[in-house]
Amino acid sequence: MGGARRRSGSRAIPSPMSVDPVAAMTSDPARRQRLAGLAAIVLITAVAYLPILRGGFIWDDETWITENRLLRTLAGLRSIWFEPGPLQYYPLTQTTLWLEYHLWGLRPLGYHLVNVMLHALTAGLVWLVLDRLAVPGAWMAAAVFALHPVHVESVAWATELKNVQAGVFSLLALLLYFRFALGRRSAVLYLLAFVTFVLAVLSKTVACTVPAATLVCVWWKRRPLGRGDVVPLVPFFLVGLAGGLGTAMVEKYQVGAQGADWTLSAADRCVLAGRALWFYAAKLVAPVRLSFIYPRWEIDARAWWQWRFPLAAVGALAVLWGFRARIGRGPLAAVLYFAITLAPALGFVDVYPFRYSFVADHFQYLASLGPITLLVALGAAGTRNAPALAAAARLACGGLLLALGAATWSRAHVFADLETLWRDTTSKNPAGWSAYNNLGSLLLERGRPAEAVPVIERALALRPDLPEIHHTMADAWIRLGRRDEARAEYARALAVAPTYAPAHNGLGLLLLHEGKATEAIAEFEQAIRLRPDLPAPLYNLGNALVALDRWREAEPYYERALQIAPDFAQAHNNLANLYAYRGNLAGAIEHYGKALALQPDLKEARDNLNAVRAQQGSRSDDPLSRDRQ
């Protein structure tokens, strides 16, 4: 957002970086130039992100995609819009995921292709928006945005469809609104801008900052602001405010962003905001040691040195304000855009990821446009004033894009699978307890408990106060057959958090496997009291009751588990066993069928189904077909 203006000239030949969008529709050469520029952006983006096309699903993708049952039915689509659940209310993003699920199921390639395509489209819109604002080097800024490795997290992570989809609609809303505000005041343009902004908020409410960012840009291009500049944006501000407040409430009361990890004073939050601003700016200038989870800072406003960050940020704004008459408003507008767009992630609003780190690469997806545009525009303006340097500048631009593309290519490999991601994270953030715990859990799932133990021990050394890590360690000991160590870990988990339901459930399973069904029932019941939304304790309680031949009492627990998790194959199988035992052969066949549809290799269900079908045909006196109640 440099301060230079477009030079006038009646015979000037339009360049691919300064063509008015309307001209593209009336001039074939201009149209060809624009299409070539857009094609180049798409091409370099696609090449840089080729490695991710072989990638799979990673962290949180199970919540949003692979285990999200709302994606599977038409009723689920209705629930996405009208029955908000534990996930953030991003219904347009979930609708896109719903469509993707019905197009290619759970094959990761389709989800990655869509994210890459949307990122390329966002970059193309960046060019059009900056060109509309007459920013020098608009195409180069868009290309840097497309290839910057700090954006790999938003593009390569399937769940972050939220970011790239919101990016497309946010940039489209900006483009349409600037054509309205800085050009002809068309009601159609205004309505289209408003609708696309609403779509951006419905994709991810981080777009709520778009109206404020828009006002900054209008202030930059038209001075001073008048009532006619502010009033049209009021509906945008109201929609953004509603979306932002709704998200904040969901984060706190449904997702769980409350407790000791989020206890920060107002002064602490100011310190955090200042430090985060400089962190994000530094990663844009020098994108090295990018990490999925960064070290979590110790924020303490009582430490005088921590005030250097917010004071330096305020000082930078003051300098840009003071020199605006000499250098133009562009640099100040770029910095204000950066700070405003980052505002939801600066610590003034509690979000769940703050439990692990106060910063994340995907938080600055749209905000990064401010510094990127400023630096590129300053370079382009300098080159324009020194024509002799034009050839060297083009060479430097090519080298920069090549370096950024190579860094993005390399970073994209990290997102290929969960183990690669967690190992990369632990190598760059040795204090990241969550990465160690997640890596340990992954190794357990892959049948490598001996390898998992030292990883989980590292997590415990970092955070012995967290019950979930003790729970993971107990799981490792059980898989290694060391039940006494597992029992001790469950005890430690409950010592630090007596209300941690998974530990009660795990201890109950341990007791059940030792033949102590009565004691196990007490643990399962406690887990259910603490977390009635968890299917596992309900299912396990059903199994414990069956072990005591209390079949009739077990039935409602299996049914409740299936109400919470309809895709719980083993619960379908065990409920079918109960139905078969009681003589309800039709019900048994139905649930064996559901179990096999969900897990075709479940041999127990297939054998039982064949046996029940045989009994249904003969109606013999075999125990499988009698009602024993």
Q: Tell me the CA distances in angstroms from 567 to 111, 143, 265, 561, 597, one per residue in order.
A: 22, 44, 43, 10, 9
Range with lowest mean pLDDT among 144-153, 159-168, 369-378, 584-593:
584-593
**H-only helix segments in 415-463:** 418-428, 433-445, 449-462
CB atoms within 10 A of CB 447: 9
- The chain-wide mean pLDDT, for the chain, equals 90
Angle at 351 between CA 349 and CA 355, to 5 degrees: 125
Tens digit of pLDDT for each residue in 21-30? 444 444 578 7
CB atoms within 10 A of CB 302: 10
The tokens of 21 are what?
A: 């969008």
Q: Which of 83-92, 218-227, 307-316, 572-581 has the highest mean pLDDT?
A: 307-316
- Best CA proximity match to 333, nearest among 152, 212, 460: 212
The tokens of 49 are what?
A: 């992100």
With 0-12 / 13-18 / 19 or more C-beta atoms within 10 angstroms meaning exposed / middle / buried, residue 599 is middle
Higher-pLDDT residue of 50, 5? 50
Q: Tell me the CA distances in angstroms from 13 to 8, 23, 130, one per residue in order.
A: 11, 12, 19
Tens digit of pLDDT for each residue in 524-579? 999 999 999 999 999 999 999 999 999 889 999 999 999 998 889 999 999 999 99
Tens digit of pLDDT for each residue in 318-345? 999 999 989 989 999 999 999 999 999 9
- Best CA proximity match to 314, nearest among 344, 271, 280, 352: 271
Find out whether 175 and 129 touch, Cβ atoms under 8 Å. Answer: yes
507-536 as b/e, with b when 16 or more CB fall inside 10 Å? bbbbbbeeebbeebbebbebbbebbeebbb
With 0-12 / 13-18 / 19 or more C-beta atoms within 10 angstroms meaning exposed / middle / buried, residue 117 is middle
The tokens of 142 are what?
A: 């868009």
Domain assignments of the chain as residue spans, ordered by start: 21-418
Question: Does pLDDT of 348 surpass 90?
Answer: yes
Grade residue 8 by pLDDT with cuts at 50, 70 and 90.
very low
Question: Does pLDDT of 17 surpass 80?
Answer: no
Tens digit of pLDDT for each residue in 477-504? 999 999 999 999 999 999 999 999 999 9
The model's pTM is: 0.88
Grade residue 108 by pLDDT with cuts at 50, 70 and 90.
very high
Tens digit of pLDDT for each residue in 374-393? 999 998 888 777 777 778 88
Mean pLDDT of the region 248-274? 90
CB atoms within 10 A of CB 4: 18
**For the chain, what is the radius of gyration of the CA atoms?**
29
Find out whether 534 and 505 touch, Cβ atoms under 8 Å. Answer: yes
pLDDT at 390: 75
pLDDT at 619: 54
- Best CA proximity match to 207, nearest among 87, 365, 100: 365
With 0-12 / 13-18 / 19 or more C-beta atoms within 10 angstroms meaning exposed / middle / buried, residue 382 is middle
Question: How many residues are there in the chain?
Answer: 629
Cα(87)–Cα(254) distance, integer angstroms:
8
Mean pLDDT of the region 216-235? 90
